[in-house]
Amino acid sequence: MPETGFRAFLRQMPSETTKQRFRWHPFQKRTIMKNIVILISGRGSNMQAIVNAAIPNVRIAAVLSNSETAAGLQWAAGQGIPTDSLNHKNFESRLAFDTAMMEKIDAYQPDLVVLAGFMRILTPEFCAHYEGRLMNIHPSILPSFTGLHTHERALEAGCRVAGCTIHFVTAELDCGPIVSQGVVPILDGDTADDVAARVLAVEHKLYPKAVADFAAGRLIIEGNRVRNSENADAARFLTA
């Protein structure tokens, strides 16, 4: 009785082995690129750090800004990254701007939206739309010193350390689940600019790592906490 179906098909194959010919299988795990959209308002030094890190399996799909004159847009365009801008001053409300920005972002089908010096307070609607895939970096050790002028306030408070926090964004300002934090010393005689420069150097190391962990599926949000499945202690804390 002659063989039929797939077994007969294999019998008719050339001398190359079946294993070599059918290396791929529809249920085989494949590497999937993650689309990242980065939002900036100025030079975007953290954006540059993320791009320069060349994170495996990450595609920087676009860099967008609320200012057409943001220096970071020109830098990103020079790297071959799509750029665009939307001036918030041209909108009658914060929600109207956020809605228009969401349309631009969604055109790139992002897996993660990264705020890298995007100087806008986001509406609850924007935060809900990207829940669990909207990441920010804040220049303080949260929950201390939310908002602006963090380094000046740390100096005024007599703090001996300063730092930065990477967190997922929620509607409550600077209060989302913390991904990782970096800490630097405050030295006698430091100015706010001295502290800012020291913190920024840590930011440039910490943010690419957080994006890489997200892309690799290592970040697990559990309530208001983030667990890193790779190495919780090493992944969540960095010192200068």
Split at pLDDT 50, 70, 90, the class of 26 is: very low
Token pair in block for residue 234: 């090493």
Q: CATH topology of 29-130 equal to that of 137-240?
A: yes
Is 136 annotated as belonging to a binding site? yes
Check whether the bond before 82 is cis (ω within 30° of 0).
no
What tokens does 111 get? 């897996």
pLDDT at 28: 43
Mean pLDDT of 159-163: 98
Tell me which DSSP letter residue 53 carries. T
pLDDT tens by residue, 193-216: 999 999 999 999 999 999 999 999
CATH code of the region 137-240? 3.40.50.170
Determine whether the annotation assigns residue 30 to a binding site: no
**Contacts for 43 with CB less than 8 Å, ≥ 6 apart:** 70, 71, 72, 75, 117
Q: Which of 13-17, 21-25, 53-57, 105-109 has the lowest mean pLDDT?
A: 21-25
94-153: pLDDT as tens digits: 999 999 999 999 999 999 999 999 999 999 999 999 999 999 999 999 999 999 999 999
The CATH architecture assigned to 29-130 reads 3-Layer(aba) Sandwich (3.40)
Partners of residue 39 on adjacent β-strands? 64, 115
Which 3 state secondary structure label does DSSP give 47? helix
Please calculate the CA angle 135-48-180 and round it to the nearest 5 degrees: 35
User: Is there a binding annotation on residue 120?
Assistant: yes
Give residue 226's pLDDT.
97
Q: Among 37-41, 126-130, 235-239, which is the least confidently predicted range?
A: 235-239
pLDDT at 231: 66
**Active site includes 138?**
yes
3-state secondary structure at position 166? strand
Enter the tokens of residue 173: 């300002």
> Over pLDDT 70: what percentage of the chain?
84
* pLDDT for position 214: 97
**Per-residue pLDDT band at 230 (split at 50, 70, 90):** confident
For residue 198, the SS3 value is helix
- 10 pLDDT higher than 60: no
Domain locations in the chain as residue ranges: 29-130, 137-240
How high is the pLDDT of residue 238?
Answer: 72
Residue 82 exposed, middle or buried by CB count within 10 Å (0-12, 13-18, 19+): middle
Does residue 11 have a known ligand-binding role? no
52 assigned to a ligand binding site: no
Q: Is the pLDDT of residue 174 over 60?
A: yes
> Is the peptide bond preceding residue 143 cis, with omega within 30 degrees of 0?
yes
Catalytic residue among 138, 151, 167, 204: 138
Mean pLDDT of the residues in the chain: 89
Q: Is the pLDDT of residue 6 over 60?
A: no
Judged against a pLDDT cut of 80, whether residue 222 lies above it is answered with yes
Contact 170, 142 (CB under 8 A): no
Tell how far CA 173 is from the center of its chain. Answer: 17
Categorize the per-residue pLDDT at 239 as very low, low, confident or very high, splitting at 50, 70 and 90.
Answer: confident
109, 102 Cβ separation under 8 angstroms: no
Q: 46-60, pLDDT tens digit by residue?
A: 999 999 999 999 999
Predicted local confidence at residue 85, as pLDDT: 98
